[in-house]
């Protein structure tokens, strides 16, 4: 609590009372701590690939001076870390766009299937590359949702990327989209490594990862699920996660259907 004290004076400067105002700054403190934590995390995440790049460039320079080899492999590692930096910066910008509500006003009526048809094609190919099966169950005549093409695609690509990433070769990835009571359910399931239940409550936090080294190795940024959570919130939707270690995970996103406006005949006249 922050305390501010004022003396109440009469015209002749006699004190007739004291006014004490308490400001609850708990939320401000929390916000400040979250911000500091985020900056610390980002700096760490940026430094890790940069340190590697720098190390390899130094070796290349020394080799170059000595007229020696290993150039190709070093350049490949540098390329990989550069890609990681690029992914990270992209995700940070994405998150910041979502947090400043830049995209909030752009929700409009949308046909989900039309909007993601090409994504389905791309992910079928990604799965084939990893010898995984990609099963699709999309209900016919899906109702429209109040959404945004860009957000919906971001949401799906983040969940599908993870499903593929954290599932071994020959596993199964499944995407199902169906209407439920006044909502639409988007379910992304995999038969991958699963998430231990003690991690589930924190999994949507920024930079929270079960195995940071593994995530980085796969090109992960630790921001995908927090982006997903933000997008779900922008829709006033919900997200659920069920997972069993060694068996797989199912992420279920629930989005409100487009509410029909009452027609003139029923508007009380
Ligand atoms: P990352 O870029 O590390 O994948 P995310 O925010 O997308 O970051 O996910 C956070 C963490 O949640 C991952 O590092 C991983 O440990 C875990 N995770 C996410 N999706 C899955 C999944 N489908 N199967 C197993 N673990 C997952």
Q: Are 161 and 224 in contact (CB under 8 A)?
A: yes
| Structure tokens, 4 | 């501010």
Q: Which residue has the tokens 């940069």?
A: 50
Q: What is the largest CA-CA distance in the chain?
A: 90
Q: What is the mean pLDDT of residues 194-220?
A: 91
Asked if residue 268 has pLDDT above 80, the reply is: no
Q: What is the mean pLDDT of residues 108-137?
A: 92
Q: Is 88 in the pocket of ligand 1 (CB under 6 A)?
A: no
Spell out the SS3 assignment of 86-127.
Answer: HHHHHHHHHHHHHHCCCCHHHCEEECHHHHHHHHHHHHHHHH
Which of 1-15, 32-46, 63-77 has the highest average model confidence (pLDDT)? 32-46
Ligand 1, from 216, 225, 226, 246: best to mutate by most atoms within 8 Å of Cβ? 225
Tally the C-alpha atoms within 13 A of residue 30's C-alpha that lie toward its C-beta. 5
Q: Are 107 and 98 in contact (CB under 8 A)?
A: no
Length of the chain: 269
Query: Ligand 1 centre from 162 Cα, in Å?
Result: 6
Q: What is the mean pLDDT of residues 28-47?
A: 85
Mean pLDDT lowest for which of 23-37, 79-93, 135-149? 23-37
Asked if residue 33 has pLDDT above 60, the reply is: yes
Asked if residue 148 has pLDDT above 60, the reply is: yes
Q: Is 193 in the pocket of ligand 1 (CB under 6 A)?
A: yes
Tell me the sheet residues that pair with 174: 135, 189
Q: How many distinct helices (H) and strands (E) make up the chain? A: 6, 9
Report residue 246: phi and psi, to 5°: 85, -10
- Which pLDDT band, with edges at 50, 70 and 90, does 205 fall under? very high
The whole-number pLDDT of residue 261 equals: 53
**Pairing relation of β-strands 133-138 and 172-180?**
parallel
Question: What would the pLDDT profile of 94-110 be if each residue is shown by its tens digit?
Answer: 888 888 776 655 788 88
Q: Is 159 in the pocket of ligand 1 (CB under 6 A)?
A: no
Query: Ligand 1 centre from 160 Cα, in Å?
Result: 11
Q: Is 210 in the pocket of ligand 1 (CB under 6 A)?
A: yes
Q: Are 166 and 250 in contact (CB under 8 A)?
A: no
- Round the CA-based radius of gyration of the chain to a whole number and report it: 25
The whole-number pLDDT of residue 114 equals: 87
Query: Ligand 1 centre from 166 Cα, in Å?
Result: 7
- Which pLDDT band, with edges at 50, 70 and 90, does 226 fall under? very high
Q: How many CB atoms lie within 10 A of CB 232?
A: 19
| Structure tokens, 130 | 């990893």
Q: Are 173 and 160 in contact (CB under 8 A)?
A: yes
Asked if residue 266 has pLDDT above 60, the reply is: no
Protein residue closest via CA to atom 3 of ligand 1: 222
């Amino acid at each position: 609590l922050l305390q501010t004290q004022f003396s109440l004076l009469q015209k002749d400067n006699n004190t007739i009372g004291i006014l004490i105002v308490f400001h609850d700054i708990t939320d401000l403190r929390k916000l400040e701590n979250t911000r500091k934590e985020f900056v610390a995390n980002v700096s760490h995440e940026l430094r890790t690939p940069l340190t590697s790049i720098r190390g390899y460039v130094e070796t290349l320079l020394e080799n170059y001076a000595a007229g020696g080899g290993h150039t190709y492999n070093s350049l490949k590692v540098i390329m990989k870390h550069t890609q990681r930096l690029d992914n990270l910066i992209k995700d940070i910008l994405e998150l910041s766009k979502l947090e400043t509500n830049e995209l909030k006003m752009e929700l409009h009526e949308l046909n989900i299937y039309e909007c993601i048809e090409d994504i389905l094609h791309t992910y079928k190919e990604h799965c084939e590359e990893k010898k995984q099966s990609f099963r699709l169950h999309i209900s016919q005549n899906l109702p429209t949702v109040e959404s945004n093409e860009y957000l919906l695609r971001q949401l799906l690509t983040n969940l599908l990327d993870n499903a593929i990433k954290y599932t071994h070769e020959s596993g199964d990835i499944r995407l199902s989209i169906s209407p439920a009571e006044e909502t639409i359910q988007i379910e992304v399931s995999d038969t991958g490594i699963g998430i231990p239940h003690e991690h589930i409550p924190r999994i949507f936090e920024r930079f929270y990862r079960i195995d940071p080294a593994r995530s980085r190795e796969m090109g992960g940024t630790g921001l995908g699920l927090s982006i997903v959570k933000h997008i779900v919130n922008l829709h006033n939707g919900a997200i659920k996660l069920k997972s069993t270690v060694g068996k797989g995970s199912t992420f279920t996103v629930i989005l409100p259907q487009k509410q029909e406006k009452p027609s003139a005949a029923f508007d009380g006249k």
